[in-house]
Amino acid sequence: MNLNRSFFVPVNSPLHNLNPLTKLALVFSMILPAFLSLPQLAPFLAIPILIAVFIGRVQKQYFNLLLKLVLPTILFMFVMQSLFLPGGETVILNLGIFDVTRESMQSAFYTVSRIFVMISSFAILLLTTHPSELMSDLTRRGLPGQFAYVIISTLQILPQMQAKAQTIIAAQRSRGLDTESSFRKRIGSLVPLVGPLVFGSLVEVEERAIAIEARGFTSKRVKTSLHEIPDPAFDKILRGILVILVIASFTLNLWLS
Amino acid sequence: MNIEITNLRFTYPTGLEALKGINLTINSGEQVAIVGQNGAGKTTLVRHFNGLLKPTSGTIFIGEWETTKFSVAKLASRVGYVFQNPDDQLFSRDVLTEVTFGPRNLGYEKAKIEELVQRALSLTELTDKTDTNPYDLSPTWRKMIALASIIAMDTPIVIFDEPTTGQDAVNVARIANVIAELRNEGKTVITITHDIDFCAENFERVVALSNGQVLLDGPAREVLGQEKVLAQTYVDPPQLTRLGKRLGLKETVTRQEEFLRAIE
Ligand SMILES: Nc1ncnc2c1ncn2[C@@H]1O[C@H](COP(=O)(O)OP(=O)(O)OP(=O)(O)O)[C@@H](O)[C@H]1O
Ligand SMILES: [Mg+2]
C-alpha cells in the first residue's frame, strides 16, 4: 500500500533526467562555496536554489518541506544566534541581560543562509532522485556496497516510519480512539506507537539483510547492473564546469580576504 | 442498522479510480460475502464503511449517519473493521490490552468491557494467551487477535477483510464459528474473501465486484451459479456447484447437503 517510501517525486523534469552524480556535484557546488567562500555569498545562493526547485517541478513538495522542517529550524537558529553571539556595538534591541546587536544579527543571517543552502540543496537532490538510482550509480563508480546500504536505509527510515505510523493511527481510530479531538489524547495515543514502530523497523532490517544476502550482497565478484543509468557528455561537461566554479569561488575568497 | 451506498466513486491520490459508481444496500442482520479479483476494489469499498476513506463523490449512510459527517472514531461504535493484514492493526504489548483497547474507547462500563473482552477471547480461543505479546505468536494467531479485538467492540456491523487467507482448516472452522455466533446475535457481517467454499458455506448473500463496479449481487446460490459472469472477475464457482452443473442438476447447488439432496 505504501507506494512511495522515499521523498522522491516521480515526475519528469530536466533535473530528474540528470545523472545522479551530476546532481550530487550540483549539491556540493552550492554547499562548498556557501560554507567556505565569502559569507556574503550564501544568501545569493537562494536564487539558483529556487530556480532549481521550479526546473525540477517539485515546488509543492519542496515548499511543504520548507514550511514544516527548514523554516522552524532556521528561525530557531536565527533567534539563538542573534541573542547569544557575543560582540558588536550597535545595539538594536535590549532584552534584560541580552543585547541584540546589528553585528550578531548579521552573522546569524549568514549562518542561517548557509544552513538553508545546505538543507535545500539536499532536499532538491532527494526530491528529484530516486535513492536506489543514486546509490546504484555511486556503487557502479566504486562506492562500497555496505556504505551505500547504510546511506539508503537512513534515507528511507523517515518515510518508512511515517507510513507505519499512518497505518497504526488508522487502526487506532478504527477502534474508537478519537485522535481528531483532544491534544492530550493524541499524545497519549502516540505512546503505544513507539513499541511497534521500533520493533517493526528492527524486524524489517533483519528481513532485508536476509533478502539482500540471498541475492549475493557480500559476494566478491564484479556485479553487473540490470538498470543502466545514463551519463551523457552533457553531464560530464556540466560537472567539469561545476568544479571550475567551486575553485573560482575559493580563489575569489582568498583574493579578497 | 442498514448500510446505504449511492453512486459511490473513489479515486486514490495517485489518480487511480478504484470505485466507479457503486450502489448497494445491506440490511440489518445480513451476512454478505464480497468476492472479486485482486484489485477489484473490495478493500477500498469496505474502508468507506467506517470512514477511513471518504467518497470522492456519492454517499454512504450507516443507519442515519452519513460517513462524511462523522469521525472514524465515532463510526467505530457502529462498524468494526478487521484489517486485511493483522500487522497493520496490532500495536499493544499483550493480547489482553489489545482486545480491551476498542471497548474501552467506546466508553462501555467496566463490567461490560470485562464481559465483552472475555467473550471475544473465548470465541477466538485466545483465553490462555492473554499475557503474550502478539508479535510472539504466529501470523495465524495474530489474525485471531485482530478478530477478537474487533468483536469485543460489540458493534452492530462487523467487517472481515480476508479472514481465512493463510489459515489452516482448524482456524477456518474457528472463524466460521465466530461468524455464526455473530449471526445469532443479529449482527450484520460483511466478509471479503477469495475462499469460495468458505463463502458458499457461510453467507446468504454474495456481491461480486469487478474493476470498481458491482458485477453481481444476490442470494449466494444465484450469484455462484453464474460461472460465465464470475469468470470476468476471475472467480470460480465452488467445485460442488460446477460438478452439479456437469451432472445436469436442475438447481444450482453450493453446499454438500444440497448436493446430496439433489442427486437422491
Ligand atoms: N493506498 C493506495 N494508493 C493508491 N492506489 C491504491 C491504494 N490502495 C489500493 N490501491 C489500488 O486500488 C485498486 C483497488 O485496490 P483494493 O485494495 O481495494 O483491491 P482489493 O479488491 O481489496 O484487492 P485484493 O484482493 O488484492 O485485496 C487497486 O488497483 C490498487 O492497486
Ligand atoms: Mg483487499
| B205 touches B219 (CB < 8 A) | yes
Q: What is the pLDDT of residues B65-118, one digit of tens each?
A: 999 999 999 999 999 999 988 888 888 888 999 999 999 989 899 999 999 999
CA A246 – CA B217 distance, rounded (Å): 69
Query: In chain A, at which residue ranges do the beta strands (DSSP E only) sit?
Result: 91-95, 98-101
| B147 touches B99 (CB < 8 A) | no
Q: H or E segment at B209?
A: strand B205-210
For residues B181-188, average pLDDT: 94
| B4 touches B61 (CB < 8 A) | yes
Whether residue A241 lies within 8 A of chain B, CB to CB, comes out as no
Band the pLDDT of A2: cuts 50, 70, 90.
Answer: very low
| Cα B53 to ligand 2 centroid, rounded to whole Å | 14
For residues B220-226, average pLDDT: 90
Q: Is B12 in the pocket of ligand 1 (CB under 6 A)?
A: yes
Interface A-B, measured as beta-carbon pairs within 8 A, has a size of: 62
CA B73 – CA B104 distance, rounded (Å): 12
Nearest residue CA, atom 31 of ligand 1? B39
Mutation choice for A interface testing from B42, B49, B52, B72 by most A CBs within 10 A: B72
What residues have CB less than 8 Å from B174, skipping those under 6 apart? Answer: B124, B125, B144
pTM of the model: 0.75
- Please report residues of A whose CB lies closer than 8 A to that of B102: 175-176
Q: What is the pLDDT of residues A174-209, one digit of tens each?
A: 998 876 666 666 666 667 667 767 777 777 778 888
Band the pLDDT of A1: cuts 50, 70, 90.
Answer: very low
B47 Cα nearest atom in ligand 1: 18
Average pLDDT value for chain B: 92
Q: Give the start-to-end residue ranges of the domains of chain B.
A: 3-78+155-263
Amino acid in the structure at residue B204 = E
Contact A168 B91 (CB under 8 A): yes
Whether residue B74 lies within 8 A of chain A, CB to CB, comes out as yes
Per CATH, which fold does B3-78+155-263 belong to?
Rossmann fold (3.40.50)
B12 Cα nearest atom in ligand 1: 4
B44 Cα nearest atom in ligand 1: 18
Band the pLDDT of A114: cuts 50, 70, 90.
Answer: very high
| B28 touches B14 (CB < 8 A) | no
Could you give the C-alpha distances from A57 to A124, A239, B95, in angstroms and in order?
Answer: 10, 22, 48
User: B3-11 and B188-192 as β-strands: parallel, antiparallel, unpaired?
Assistant: unpaired
Query: What interface predicted TM-score (ipTM) does this complex get?
Result: 0.84
pLDDT score recorded for residue A3: 41
- Please report residues of A whose CB lies closer than 8 A to that of B105: 175-178
| Cα B146 to ligand 2 centroid, rounded to whole Å | 16
For residues A102-107, average pLDDT: 85
- Give me the residue from B52, B92, B135 closest to A174, CB to CB: B52
Q: H or E segment at B42?
A: helix B42-49
- Enumerate the β-bridge partners of residue B190: B32, B159
Q: Is B14 in the pocket of ligand 1 (CB under 6 A)?
A: yes
